[in-house]
């Protein structure tokens, strides 16, 4: 089916507004993206008609809220082709998913001098939870280096495995460079060493089809708010066998089977990991966002964003004194760059005055900045509602930056 991406933009009410009096050009989709009307309406509908606590009430309202909430679990299972719906754990976002695995799986399975492998290009969310765990159990982090193009050094990766390697935790796509990592191959290699792999899918899931059985990953995490859904909701996918081997991450209501002061027994997977009242409206809204994406087709979204990436790469490369940071062969729609003699924050400020929202900074990936010996970069990142006119506006804005700072 041929999708007219131009008309889809009208589904996003926020995009109609101005920024500093200019039409808004939103190019910060890696940070979070805007929500289609159907998601906003679903949340409003939930609070207007269906609000009740889930899994507990015996009345119709609660049953309805529970049904809608659990429906999203099944939607996600199909969306990522998980084997079972109970392999889908609702969390607050990719960050909480990684913390959950580190604290539950890691603290149970890792011991002194064990090794956790991550890469130089990870977001802080896929660094700090492992550092915390390493401090707690006396384990060590091993860092997979990246090349000057911003790709994983696969030779170095293979050489980093030792008998002590207990986990590989790797981004599917980098938020700072846009690199899409060869995770299927990385998972295959890790499994030859009997090492499980956690994939941080925060920047990949909204931009391409993901099939967790085909990848054979052991854990996969992502956030709703980067995939056109509400904030405060995310998913941890885990293989049934691994989730079954893990103790609860937090204690509270809904995660127990029975409680006495002498002994508490825990609920089954996934409820064991979902203590307390969750963001019910958020989960339901996320289900609607996924239905919206499915209707467009993840293949179509990937193709559209690749066209934008190619167009933007060509246009930005033609700007004198602009350097793109991260030129991997396989990228999502993310372009990080620097302009000679102009600080990224100054670029961001000038672009903002022209209605253009981009990100300037270290993108929560300080080791990437260190690798390229930069304090910061400017990052433009694309979503399904962006078009070539947005990129043309960015180019005009950058020409204005150069004029001002000449």
Task: List the one residue out of 200, 205, 223, 248 whose CA is nearest residue 90.
Answer: 223
Q: In the set 202, 283, 301, 378, which binds ligand PLP (CB under 6 A)?
A: 202
How many CA atoms does the CB half-sphere of 312 hold within 13 Å? 30
How far apart, in whole angstroms, are the C-alpha atoms of residue 124 and residue 367? 9
Candidates 33-41, 89-97, 104-112, 386-394; binding stretch for ligand PLP (CB under 6 A):
89-97
How many residues lie near ligand PLP (CB under 6 A)? 15
Q: Give kind and range of the element (H or E) at residue 345.
A: helix 344-353
Closest CB to ligand PLP among 35 and 354? 35
How far apart, in whole angstroms, are the C-alpha atoms of residue 8 and residue 147? 37
CB of 163 to ligand PLP, least distance (A): 29
* 169 makes contact with ligand PLP (CB under 6 A): no
Closest CB to ligand PLP among 72 and 125? 125
Closest CB to ligand PLP among 169 and 401? 169
364 is catalytic: yes
How does DSSP assign 146-171, residue by residue?
Answer: B-TTS-B-HHHHHHH--TTEEEEEEE
Binding letters toward ligand PLP, positions 266-285, x by CB under 6 A:
--------------------
Task: List the one residue out of 21, 48, 88, 63 whose CA is nearest residue 273.
Answer: 88
Provide the edge-to-edge strand list for the sheet that holds 359-361: 322-325, 334-339, 377-381, 359-361
Candidates 120-128, 134-142, 158-166, 293-301; binding stretch for ligand PLP (CB under 6 A):
120-128
Closest CB to ligand PLP among 215 and 339? 215
Q: Can you read off the two tokens belonging to residue 86?
A: 């109970």
**Largest alpha-carbon pair distance within the chain?**
73
Determine whether 395 is exposed, middle or buried from the number of CB atoms within 10 Å of its CB (0-12, 13-18, 19+): middle
Q: In the set 123, 142, 166, 239, which binds ligand PLP (CB under 6 A)?
A: 123
* 125 makes contact with ligand PLP (CB under 6 A): yes
* 99 makes contact with ligand PLP (CB under 6 A): no
Q: Which residue is catalytic, options 364, 366, 374, 395?
A: 364
Q: In the set 104, 120, 175, 381, which binds ligand PLP (CB under 6 A)?
A: 175
Closest CB to ligand PLP among 176 and 350? 176
Q: Name the residues that contact ligand PLP, by CB under 6 A.
A: 30, 93-95, 123, 125-126, 171, 175, 200, 202-203, 223, 225, 364
Active site residues: 364
């Amino acid at each position: 089916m041929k999708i007219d991406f131009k008309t889809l933009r009208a589904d996003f009410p926020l995009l109609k507004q101005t920024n500093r009096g200019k039409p808004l050009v939103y190019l910060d989709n890696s940070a979070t993206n805007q929500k289609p009307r159907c998601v906003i309406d679903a949340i409003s509908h939930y609070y207007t008609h269906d609000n009740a606590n889930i899994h507990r009430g015996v009345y119709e309202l609660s049953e309805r809220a529970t049904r809608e909430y659990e429906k999203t679990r099944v939607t996600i299972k199909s969306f990522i082709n998980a084997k079972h719906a109970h392999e889908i754990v609702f969390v607050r976002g990719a960050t909480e998913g990684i913390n959950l695995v580190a604290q539950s799986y890691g603290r149970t399975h890792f011991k002194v001098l064990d090794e956790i492998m991550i890469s130089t290009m990870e977001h802080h969310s896929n660094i700090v939870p492992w550092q915390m765990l390493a401090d707690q159990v006396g384990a060590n982090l091993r860092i997979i280096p990246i090349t000057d193009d911003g790709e994983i050094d696969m030779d170095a990766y293979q050489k980093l495995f030792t008998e002590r390697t207990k986990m590989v935790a790797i981004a599917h796509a980098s938020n700072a460079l846009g690199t899409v990592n060869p995770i299927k191959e990385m998972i295959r290699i890790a499994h030859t060493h009997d090492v499980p792999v956690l994939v941080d899918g925060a920047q990949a899931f909204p931009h391409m089809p993901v099939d967790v059985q085909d990848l054979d990953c052991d854990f996969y995490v992502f956030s709703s708010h980067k995939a056109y859904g509400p904030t405060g909701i995310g998913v941890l996918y885990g293989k049934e066998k691994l989730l079954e081997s893990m103790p609860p991450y937090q204690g509270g209501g809904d995660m127990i089977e029975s409680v006495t002061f002498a002994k508490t027994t825990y609920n089954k997977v996934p409820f064991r990991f979902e203590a307390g009242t969750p963001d019910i409206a958020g989960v339901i809204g996320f289900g609607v966002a996924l239905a919206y994406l499915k209707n467009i087709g993840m293949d179509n979204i990937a193709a559209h964003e690749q066209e934008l990436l190619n167009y933007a790469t060509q246009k930005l490369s033609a700007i004198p004194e602009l350097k793109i940071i991260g030129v991997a062969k396989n990228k999502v729609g993310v372009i990080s760059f620097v302009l000679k003699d102009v600080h990224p924050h100054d670029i961001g400020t000038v672009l903002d005055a022209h209605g253009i929202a981009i990100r300037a900074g270290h993108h929560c990936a300080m080791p990437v900045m260190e690798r390229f010996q930069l304090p910061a970069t400017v990052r433009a990142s694309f979503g399904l509602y962006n078009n070539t006119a947005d990129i043309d506006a960015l180019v005009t804005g950058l020409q204005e930056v150069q004029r001002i700072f000449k």
